[in-house]
Amino acid sequence: MTVHYNRLTKEPYLRLPTPLSNIIITPHRLENIDETATALAEILNDPRVYPWLEGPPYPYQHEDGVKWIEAKCKENEDVLSTLRRYLEQREGMSNSKSAAVVSKQDREFIDTCPFTCIREVLEEDAASGAPLKDRLIGDMTLARYTFYEHPHDSEERSEAQRRNNELPTGDENIIWALGDFLAPSHHGKGIMSLAIRTLIHEWGIPHMNVRHLRCCAFQGNEGSLKVFERNNFERGVTLKDWVPVSESRGGGRKSIVLMTWRGA
Ligand SMILES: CC(C)(COP(=O)(O)OP(=O)(O)OC[C@H]1O[C@@H](n2cnc3c(N)ncnc32)[C@H](O)[C@@H]1OP(=O)(O)O)[C@@H](O)C(=O)NCCC(=O)NCCS
């Protein structure tokens, strides 16, 4: 179980296993904010992506991406500096030329997941294998669950969220949720199935103590449901006409399918 460390850019990252080891999951970066915001806008305005998502604004402006990335970088500042310090200490203790790694035995649990950007590596450092050039192809979030089974804006939903949010870091009763999207150019290659597996097993379980996971998808999003099933989630109830859809996305309400993880 490893978090990789790019010594050249000082960036911790996760890497998908073979045959998709050209795909990495990184934190957001301020240094290429314009490029990433452009990629986000391109993906999130695509008709093969935006109709399946509830959260992001639509149409998605470059400025939305810039604000999102700035917020994410700020939110992850502390956890990333702790991780960097740790990985650099390990590197100091080791003469190995391979990428530095962090293992679960050496860490306290962490409450957030800084690994959100799915990137395709375009160029690697020949000596260390560290990514030198990449591009954003998708996004994933692992955050505390928001209890879709309770009606939107209901007291029950706020109360369930409050109780879940109050559980301390590393508590095995915390319910976590996953969300994701991928550039259509990369659909159907098994990337999201393996990205979710990597995020759960390389970060969520060992570093956040994730024991309970739920997610949901709009009814009819067979691709998404399948990806979660491949990761040991099972389909639960379908809630008819449940999630309010913004006017810019066509308004009305969409039905959702709830999914629960069976565990590692
Ligand atoms: C859903 C999504 C993340 C899937 O990612 P992906 O990398 O293309 O999925 P994978 O290649 O890992 O596919 C996994 C399985 O789902 C199937 N699948 C993928 N897209 C599908 C689709 N549109 N319809 C039916 N099955 C589909 C694949 O054939 C594969 O099945 P298999 O195990 O039998 O081979 C991607 O299509 C996407 O970003 N969609 C738009 C945004 C979205 O829906 N996000 C999720 C919101 S809940």
Between CA 261 and CA 264 the distance in angstroms is 8
- The domains of the chain, with CATH numbers, are 3-261 (3.40.630.30)
The predicted pLDDT at position 94 comes to 57
Q: Tell me the CA–centroid distance for residue 222 and ligand 1, in Å.
A: 7
Strand intervals (E) in the chain? 3-6, 11-15, 23-26, 100-102, 117-124, 131-144, 175-182, 212-218, 233-244, 253-261
Quote the tokens at residue 246: 């913004």
Question: Residues 60, 71, 190, CA angle at the centre, nearest 5°?
Answer: 60
The predicted pLDDT at position 91 comes to 73
Between CA 80 and CA 119 the distance in angstroms is 18
Q: Tell me the CA–centroid distance for residue 189 and ligand 1, in Å.
A: 9
Please tell me if the CB atom of residue 226 comes closer than 6 angstroms to any atom of ligand 1.
Answer: yes
The predicted pLDDT at position 93 comes to 61
Nearest CA to ligand 1 atom 32: 226
pLDDT in tens, the chain (264 residues): 489 999 999 999 999 999 999 999 999 999 999 999 999 999 999 999 999 999 899 999 999 999 999 999 999 999 999 999 988 887 776 544 444 445 555 558 999 999 999 999 999 999 889 999 999 999 999 999 999 999 999 999 999 999 999 999 999 999 999 999 999 999 999 999 999 999 999 999 999 999 999 999 999 999 999 999 999 999 999 999 999 999 999 999 999 999 999 998
Ligand 1 atom closest to residue 230's alpha carbon, by position in its atom list = 33
CB contact at 8 A, 114 and 18: no
* Cis check: omega of the bond before 168, within 30 degrees of 0: no
CB contact at 8 A, 160 and 151: no
Of the candidates 256, 223, 217, 224, the residue with the CA atom closest to the CA atom of residue 239: 256
The predicted pLDDT at position 199 comes to 98
Q: How many CB atoms lie within 10 A of CB 234?
A: 11
Of the candidates 66, 218, 243, the residue with the CA atom closest to the CA atom of residue 151: 243
The predicted pLDDT at position 105 comes to 52
CB contact at 8 A, 134 and 27: no
The predicted pLDDT at position 251 comes to 93
The residues, ordered by sequence, that sit 6+ positions from 200 with a Cβ below 8 Å of its Cβ are 142, 178, 210, 213, 231, 264
Between CA 248 and CA 59 the distance in angstroms is 7
Q: Is 203 helix (H, G, I), strand (E, B) or coil?
A: helix
Q: Tell me the CA–centroid distance for residue 201 and ligand 1, in Å.
A: 20
Q: How many CB atoms lie within 10 A of CB 6?
A: 20
Quote the tokens at residue 89: 């200490």
Nearest CA to ligand 1 atom 24: 223
